[in-house]
Amino acid sequence: MARKTRRPTEMADANQLLRLTPPTKTKIYKTAIYARLSLEDSGKKDSDTLENQIYLVKQFVKGQHDLELVAVFADNGETGLKFDRPQFNEMLGAVRRGDVTCVVVKDLSRFGRCYIEIGNYLDKIFPFLGTRFISVNDGYDNHNPTSNHDGLTISLKSLISNFYSKDLSKKIRTAYETKQRKGEFIGAIPAYGYLRCPVDKSKLVVNSELAPIVRDIFEWVVNGDSYTSISRRLNGMDIPSPRKYQYLNGLAKHESYATAIWKPETVKHLVKNPVYAGYMSQGKRKSRLLQGLPSLRLPSEQWINVPDMHEAIITHEKFEAVAKVLANKKVAYQQRNANALLDRNEHIFTGIIYCGDCGARMKRIKKVNLTCVTYIYNCPEYAKNKLHACVGAKYVREDRLTEVVWASIKLQMDLCTDMCKLIKKARKNNVVKLKTDNINRQITDAQRRIQRIETLLKGLYSSYSDKILTEAEYRDTKAAYQKEKRELESQLERSITAKAKHRADPITENRWASSLMSFESHQVLTKDMLLALIERIEITELNVITIAFKHRNEYEVLSGEVAEYA
């Protein structure tokens, strides 16, 4: 039998149905691009720069109808072996907030090189957050079943990338060490007093502007001046510190360098640096990135020092003289400590005592003589730089500080004991009983009145049905009863709360009182006592001691209890 032609009416009905059926909506992913470069961006257009990575991924995103680009995150100069990177962390924050629902990278190595962490993100973190992840060059898309979704392949790629990174790191480290042993400068910024040679960047030349300052510093040390007095003198002469000099000359861009001043540590590191005697001194820190650890500063015996690699600012004899002066000071200090009656008492004020003017933590200083050891606290910023960082000297002996703090705590304990006695006595007398009875009566009265209103509300509709009340009277009466019921319920809730408060022991519930009473039997000041009771101790000019106790608001609550029972 021949096939019948579909009638025009049927076709019209079908077309109408197609127009009425809504099209299936495609989910749009809020997409972020992530790029990373281990070394600083060279800026070359033909290299794997951040710019090229971002361009490639942007082109990919433009060709995907379900991806909407909302952000670009790029870490420059960050290793792939660690995932604690500024822009990476910012991207994760956006993912957790829901601002980003898809992350796209050029390839897995740009995301990271630690195969364990990569697997953790791909298998656990991103699936848990519902985040789509795409690696363009690897053809990987965790939301596309047709992509390269083989977990073994991804794991192998990550593992190979990890081994490649470690192998490359070892080769680079070996190459750098070879250059160091040949006396070639491989650092980013030369030591204070030197410049890179404009002809040979691996060589150093003397900075004629700074060399006289370096010579003066060495001369002052030979004459017996301390690091602190030298740093104060340099600050007083308005000579830029090494960091400030770098900032002023465009060698460093961090804003903190703009206000950096000379400190004792700066002088100490300068006079111990063999570079000023003509040595190319490098290899002072050991990288432990492959172990996931911060770099380690090596002892001077392990530094790579190659002599006569550039013009010396000071003579070798002067450098040795300074080293001898520093060694003698160290020996003298050790002898004083060895001959003194040292008492290893605990540093109980750690993290509690501050300068009241500049906010710096007060530093504990040990003063040693032949018979005893004395501990004092001073403001380190003023001690190092005087008026450059703080407004005045602060100096307090630890024994006096302990005496003042202990006396203040004892006063608090005595006050707490008196208040607790008053409260306990008041809670036993008739006043408290009368208040409790009054609260119970209020609760009973409120419950009775609420029950009565509920009964009236039930009978109200019957009166309306029987035409005893008009509709308007019914509505008005019902609203009045409901309003009164709400007021009584609120009153009942307040009375129940007041009853619970009278039943509870205000002393054990009060953190100020309970903290003080827990140390009632103590006879000396301890670290635990300070941490539990004191928020902060400040020393201001003229050595005024200010103590801020914890739980001051709880003290006000207990004072209110005492006033209520009075």
- The residues, ordered by sequence, that sit 6+ positions from 90 with a Cβ below 8 Å of its Cβ are 73
pLDDT for the residue 312: 93
Predicted confidence band at 256 (pLDDT cuts at 50, 70, 90)? Answer: confident
- Residue 353 forms beta bridges with which residues? 537
Alpha helices by DSSP H, listed for 126-198, are 126-129, 151-181
Task: Name the DSSP class of 236.
Answer: H
pLDDT digits (tens, 9 = 90+) for 364-400: 887 776 667 788 898 887 776 665 667 777 888 898 9
What are the tens digits of pLDDT across the range 282-315?
888 877 665 556 778 888 888 889 999 999 999 9
DSSP 79-103: -TT----HHHHHHHHHHHHTS--EE
Burial track 465-495 (b if 16+ CB lie within 10 A, e otherwise): eeeebeeeebeebbeebeeebeebeebbeeb
Q: What pLDDT does residue 13 have? A: 43
- Output the average pLDDT for the chain: 81
Band (pLDDT 50/70/90 cuts) for residue 119 is: confident
* Residue 32 host element (H or E): strand 29-37
Cα(354)–Cα(546) distance, rounded to whole angstroms? 10
* CATH H-level superfamily of 29-168: Resolvase, N-terminal catalytic domain (3.40.50.1390)
pLDDT digits (tens, 9 = 90+) for 165-181: 666 667 777 777 888 88
Question: Please, where in the chain does CATH 3.40.50.1390 lie?
Answer: 29-168
Sole residue written with tokens 């300074």: 322
Residues of the chain with CATH 3.90.1750.20: 194-336
Q: What are the distances in angstroms from CA 256 to CA 246, 247, 260, 262, 355?
A: 11, 9, 7, 13, 21
Token pair in block for residue 323: 């080293």
Chain length of the chain? 566
Q: In CATH, what number does 194-336 get?
A: 3.90.1750.20
**Range of lowest pLDDT (103-107, 157-161, 188-192, 404-408):** 157-161
With a pLDDT cut of 90, the percent of the chain lying above it is 27
* Cα angle, residue 239 at apex, residues 238 and 242 outer, rounded to 5°: 135
The mean pLDDT of 305-328, rounded to a whole number, is: 92
CA–CA separation, 286 and 290 (whole Å): 11
pLDDT of 323 above 80: yes
Statement: the pTM of the whole predicted model exceeds 0.85: no
